[in-house]
Amino acid sequence: MEKQTNNKMGSTPVFKLLMQMAIPMIISMLIQSLYNVVDSIFVGKYAYDALTAIGLAWPMQNLIIAFATGIGVGINATLSKSLGEKNYKKVTSSAVNGCFIMFIIYLLFLLSGLTLIPLYFKSISNNQAVINYGITYLKYIMIGSFGVLFSITFERLLQSTGKTGLVMISQASGTIINIILDPILIFGFGFIKSMGIHGAAIATLIGQFCSCFIGLILNIKYNKEIKIVKKDIKIDLIMIKEILLIGIPSSFMAAIASVLTFLFNRILLKFYDVINPITNTPYLDLPQTVFGLYFKLNSLFFMPVFGLNNALVPIVAYNYGAKEKVRLLKTFKYSLIIAIIMMTFGTLMFMIFPSQLLAIFAENKDVANQLSTVGNYCLRIISISFIFAGVCIVITSMFQALGNGVYSLICSFVRQLIVLLPCAYLLSLTNNLSLVWLSFLIAELVALLLSIILFKKVFRVKINLLSNEG
């Protein structure tokens, strides 16, 4: 029988608790991923080169989110563990110092946005129109990154205390505003003139700042577990170190995806003048465009799994702090089953409907047919790896919740930089684009094997030492 405690993460039946916390997160993540898709649909209808540009901008946008979510994991795990230990002074310190870290990160992205963007785009594109669109879009995003950084921070504070329903409100509100503003600002409406790619960026920033403001208000009004008064607002180097020890590996793990995507786009750039055997014309930007669309589409299935695991982290961290082994393992088991079901659905969608999924981004039928010549095989072959990826995501989330964030980093580093990129590069030497996509499947299999090996070690060293009661 599960022990009764004052906090629902230690008393509510595990499956019910996981669903209570995960469903709002899954819905909000799904809404967020729908924004990414809808945003690209509107931009694709505006201009094909602009569609390519926002795909190439994704690594830098993801870098911002990577550090926000990574440090958020550090705040989340530290704060949830402190709640489990009933150390409320440490709870407050986690929140205050987490916000301080996030502000320093914003200053770094602000500086990068003012200086590095032209160099970035010129390194991954030969198309001047794409470069111009990309520079315009990404400058807005990086200079205004305060909104997304702190919206994620405030959401993690709510999540740490189990208020995932409020997290959904914060995330969904900003995303919905974003979706509404996109067509208005891109194409114009009434007295509002068409702003094109400028409008896409501004709509994104407005949505992010709205989400940030709403998240702040929700924390002040409803997050009573975190009580901050003036005397508590002070820098604590020990707490900063504790957050960073978990958050930095998590940030680097997520940031590796940005490095991967940037370098993978460099590999795909080699196909610019290679002849597409289906159309007998040069590929040009087509492989990079399809690659960008793949990431937009896969978010429909990956983001809900990340939402599930955002619920897993505080539950596992709390019950690890409370030494509740049975509850911890039940959370892991249920999360694994749900993730596999979600990813199986994603694989089926990519296998059966690749042409239809790509066509929604095309400005006309000719562009849709062009995308299909490369995209159908790309989506189908990569989707085979989805189930393996789902298992890895759950296991790496366990590492983060148990304070072994460095293992998550190792798995991600090996998968993306040690295996995927070298495989992609070697396969690109054949000038056969279809072979390059196989690198994703190879890398995911290696990552799955490594994550299982490391999890067995964590289980033996940490989980097995907990009490068997629960």
pLDDT digit string, tens, across residues 59-116: 999 899 889 988 988 888 888 777 777 776 777 788 888 889 999 999 999 999 999 9
**Least confident residue range of 78-92, 123-137, 368-382:** 78-92
Average pLDDT over residues 402-431: 90
Token pair 């008393």 in the structure block, residue: 11
pLDDT > 50? residue 451: yes
Residue 162 pLDDT greater than 90, yes or no: no
Predicted local distance difference test score (pLDDT) of residue 335: 93
What is the predicted pLDDT for the residue at 232? 66
Average pLDDT over residues 305-328: 86
Report which of 313, 251, 257 is spatially closest to residue 447, judged by C-alpha positions.
257
Give residue 354's pLDDT: 95
Q: Classify residue 277 by its DSSP letter.
A: T
Distance CA 10, CA 2 (A): 8
Least confident of 74-78, 132-136, 334-338, 395-399: 74-78
Is the confidence at residue 143, as pLDDT, over 70? yes
Contacting residues for 240 by C-beta, under 8 A, at least 6 apart: 97, 100, 101
pLDDT confidence of residue 3: 46
CA distance 105 to 149: 8
pLDDT band per the 50, 70, 90 thresholds, residue 403: confident
As a whole number of angstroms, the distance between CA 92 and CA 285 comes to 49
Percentages (nearest 5) of helix, strand, coil residues in the chain:
80, 0, 15
pLDDT tens digits for 147-159?
999 999 988 888 7
Report the alpha-carbon distance of residue 118 to residue 100 in Å, rounded: 29
Q: Quick one: pLDDT at residue 468? A: 54
Mean pLDDT across the chain: 88
Return the closest-CA partner of residue 262 out of 57, 14, 43: 57
Average pLDDT in the 319-341 region? 90
Q: Which of 118-122, 128-132, 454-458, 465-469 is predicted least confidently?
A: 465-469
73 class by beta-carbon count within 10 Å (0-12 exposed, 13-18 middle, 19+ buried): buried
User: CB–CB of 338/388 below 8 Å?
Assistant: no
| Type of residue numbered 355 | S
Report which DSSP code applies to 228. Answer: -
CA distances from residue 254 to 24, 385, 416 in whole angstroms, order as listed: 22, 18, 11
Helix residue ranges per DSSP H, 144-236: 146-160, 164-187, 196-222
Per residue in 197-238, pLDDT (tens digit) is 999 999 999 999 999 999 999 988 888 777 766 666 778 788
What's the confidence (pLDDT) of residue 230? 64
Within 8 A by CB and 6+ apart from 262, the residues are: 59, 124
